[in-house]
Chains A and B, each alone.
Chain A
Amino acid sequence: MKKILKSTLAIVAVFAAFTSCNNSGKSGGKSGALSSNIAEKVYVAPGEHDSHYAFISGGYSGNLTVYGLPSGRMFKEIPVFSQFPTSGYGYSEETKPMLNTSHGFIPWGDSHHPDISQTNGEIDGRFIFINENNTPRIAKIDLKTFETTEIIEVPNSAGNHSSSFVTENTEYVVAGTRFSVPVPQRDMPIKEYKGNFQGALSFISVAPETGNMDIKFQVLMPGFNYDLSHPGRGKSHGWFFFTTYNTEEANTLLEVNASQNDKDFIAAINWKKIEEYVNNGGGKMMPAEYAHNVYDEHTHTATSTMKKEVRVINPTEVPGAVYFLPTPKSPHGCDVDPSGEYIVGNGKLSANLTVHSFSKMLKAIEDEKFAGEAYGIPILNFEDVLAGSVEQPGLGPLHTEFDDEGNAYTTFFISSEVVKWKLGTWEVIDRKPTYYSVGHLTIPGGNSRKPQGKYMFAMNKITKDRYLPTGPEMEHSAQLYDISGEKMELLLDFPTHGEPHYAAAMEADLVKERSQKIYNLEENKHPYAAFSDSDAKVVRKGNEVHIYMTTIRSHFTPDNIEGIKLGDKVFFHVTNLEQDFDVPHGFAVLGQNTSELLVMPGQTKTSVWEPTKVGVWPFYCTDFCSALHQEMQGYIRVSPKNSDVPLKWSMGEDIE
């Protein structure tokens, strides 16, 4: 132990020397011309557009944020797994079903790894997928509207972390479990974990046209922790790779007990083989309960369906489908290079960075050279699959991304830096500090055959003094680097929202062209939509009152409503009749205990209000929509329960 400590200290000292060397070099050149040159590289003039989109996960905010590169400006927060009062997502009647699960309505989520859909191994910019770690779910966001349109719960999973990465034609979005659990869930002693808990790796099919998701099968693996994953591509298309830790199968004090084995595994899954097995009727359907929530862009409404069974696969029943590649010390990131040949296991407690070779793996499988087996799954020899290793590149490697010139970029959490190294020669080319303790990094086009080069950004876990202080709690920080040269160049710091775990980025053009401006009113199929002021009405059904309300600059119809009684459940169905770009209207009523609504042109949203007090209560537009926005208001009269005030409404004249 002493020895390790000593050598670690030595490494740190060496790195400190390197780092300070770099710093002094840089600060020397930072004066005058060079610093203004850097400013130009990130300057996007007013009214100009960034060249790249970055979709940065919001971590425990449950959402996904949209940024522009190189400016680092945030454009939108897309609500995904968390209620979002700004738009009414998760509060409106239409979107509440999106957050339904087999555990009931869950108002919150922990979003992790966004990944953009692909065609032929290249990013196509149609959809972006993101996983919820805590109550396992996968969401799909449509990049035409930048709205969450589908969420599927993942049964038999817990800590949905090695997710949500797509295969090269978006055949599947894959979700692995970080925490193994009893499958099926049952009441049993925790200490009986070993040999009894299992880890489910879920392959969720994505329909080519619609993008509809469905769990095709789950591979029930031994009870390890499946930490991260990536698809094979090119020659390794058809395979999927997962890092594991806790192959010790500890169930307590994991920081010690799960760090004992010299090597854990990368699990290599031949999903094409399993798919074929499944298509021939393989596997078995097991009872399960999981929600599938789909948002319809024509009814502007989500529906939640509870699914009752899922197909599970015992990996030992599909020969040749699953292998273990020994990988040193609790590997975290599992990254596949653009050619599909190299699989990087970022052993976070290892001094070296391990890279496996796909072709050597195939050869070893062909030669049946196995070192043993774990729960019936063959283990290959470390030496047989090793392509090479980067010797002592830094401390605490977490994630690796690639450029289009055969270079890899790895983040080191402990030594707080990004290291650029060469695939094949394994030599370190450059290292740059990050501020501080970097987690993920992203290169546009990252998880694909065609990285788009030019930029790389590091998402840091610790912010400390990078910005003006904001008390003990602050946003995280990201750093943008220019990677077009031999050496990386730090360009910009920018704050990120929540805790970003990974981001997906791409050149802007594909998405920009398809981004929708309004919802066409003629295509609105919402059952409570009103299509003109004359369609507006108020209908009572028992104690439910449905208000078919319209908004257009600058009035509500109706704007005087009487005949509501205490105990009524009032549904404000608000249709925005505007058909102009960026003219939303908001809706709020005094005492509304859900949230406001922000209704886009052509859209209908519903807010439920259960008044608790007799009176005349105002409602108003919350979005400064027009010159007469302040006049966009109305009144709703609430009478006692036994009152006989008739139900009436008007706009532009008094209720008679």
Chain B
Amino acid sequence: MFLAAILPLGLFLFPLWKITLEAPQYPTPLGMYIHINDFVDANPHDIKNINLMNHYVGMQYIPEAIPEFKIFPAGIIITTILGLLIAWKGNYKWFLGWFILMIILSAAGMYDFYLWEHDYGHNLDPKAIMKFTNPDGTQMGFQPPLFGSKDILNFRAHSYPQFGALFLGLGIAAGFVAYFIGKKRHKKLPS
């Protein structure tokens, strides 16, 4: 359980997610790493260049900072401390509680990410230089995929988790494993 609680701290070392944009005229694709507390260029000036591309279709600039950059790290630190406390004092049932809490928080995080992506891809400047519509006449959105790959005009967008997410996932899984081990031990122990 100690391991489970500590693993998510890897998020402070490694990026959580990466969005990559490929196009013929970008032999080196544009890319953005999403860290728990920052957006980072995959190659120098990538975010600036993504913004420059996107302004043609009226998308907003990727902000320097978002409130999540404060909330998420705090969330991780709090849940880690909580996990450590549980590992130290609590019993296996608490392990399950921590596991469920982490699942809920992660799902909330993903939902938040989806909302931001949706807004980013659909809330377009009405004075956009180029306006595209879907075959059914509705305004075309440019939302990158939440997970996976997708064609957006001349770009192919990829959105995949990175090392940080792996650490988070391993931590959560370890929490669940700890619950099982704890449960087994509990059964064996004559009480």
Contact = CB atoms under 8 A, between A and B. Distances in A.
Given A579-B45, A580-B45, A628-B129, A552 B56 contact: no
9 contacts: A518-B45, A579-B45, A579-B48, A579-B49, A580-B48, A580-B52, A581-B28, A627-B56, A628-B129
Contacts of B130: 627
Interface string A452-492: 00000000000000000000000000000000000000000
A18 B190 CA distance: 105
B48 A628 contact: no
Contacts of B129: 628
A518 B49 CA distance: 13
Tell me the dominant secondary structure on chain A's binding face: loop
Given A581-B28, A628-B129, 9 more contacts: A518-B45, A552-B52, A579-B44, A579-B48, A579-B49, A580-B45, A580-B49, A627-B56, A627-B130
B98 to A, nearest CB: 45
Contacts of A552: 52
B65 to A, nearest CB: 19
A553 B25 CA distance: 16
Nearest to B49: A580
Interface string A99-116: 000000000000000000
B61 to A, nearest CB: 13
A264 B42 CA distance: 64
A580 B129 CA distance: 21
A628 B130 CA distance: 10
A131 to B, nearest CB: 37
A46 to B, nearest CB: 13
Contacts, number: 17
Contacts of B48: 579-580
B52 to A, nearest CB: 6
Nearest to B25: A582
Interface in A621-652: 627-628
Nearest to B46: A580
Chain A contact patch, size range = under 10
A581 B29 CA distance: 12
A627 B56 CA distance: 9
Contacts of A627: 56, 130
A150 B44 CA distance: 29
A630 to B, nearest CB: 12
Nearest to A601: B45
Interface in B85-131: 129-130
Nearest to A602: B45
A578 B56 CA distance: 15
A187 to B, nearest CB: 59
Contacts of B45: 518, 579-580
Contacts of A580: 45, 48-49, 52
A578 B49 CA distance: 8
A578 to B, nearest CB: 8
A263 B129 CA distance: 76
Interface in A260-304: none
Contacts of A581: 28
Most buried by A among B28, B45, B48, B49: B45
Interface string B17-32: 0000000000010000
A581 B129 CA distance: 23
Nearest to B28: A581
Nearest to A579: B45
B56 A628 contact: yes
A170 to B, nearest CB: 31
Q: Which 4 A-B pairs have the closest CB atoms?
A: A579-B45, A580-B49, A553-B52, A579-B48
A305 B57 CA distance: 50
A141 B168 CA distance: 51
Nearest to A627: B56
A552 B48 CA distance: 11
B25 to A, nearest CB: 9
Most buried by A among B48, B52, B130: B52
B27 to A, nearest CB: 9
A347 to B, nearest CB: 51
B179 to A, nearest CB: 50
Contacts of A518: 45
Contacts of A578: 52
Nearest to A580: B49
Interface string A578-589: 111100000000
A530 to B, nearest CB: 16
Interface in A548-594: 552-553, 578-581
Contacts of B56: 627-628
A578 B52 CA distance: 9
Nearest to B30: A580
Interface in A505-536: 518
A592 B48 CA distance: 32
Contacts of B49: 579-580
Nearest to B129: A628
Interface in A597-638: 627-628
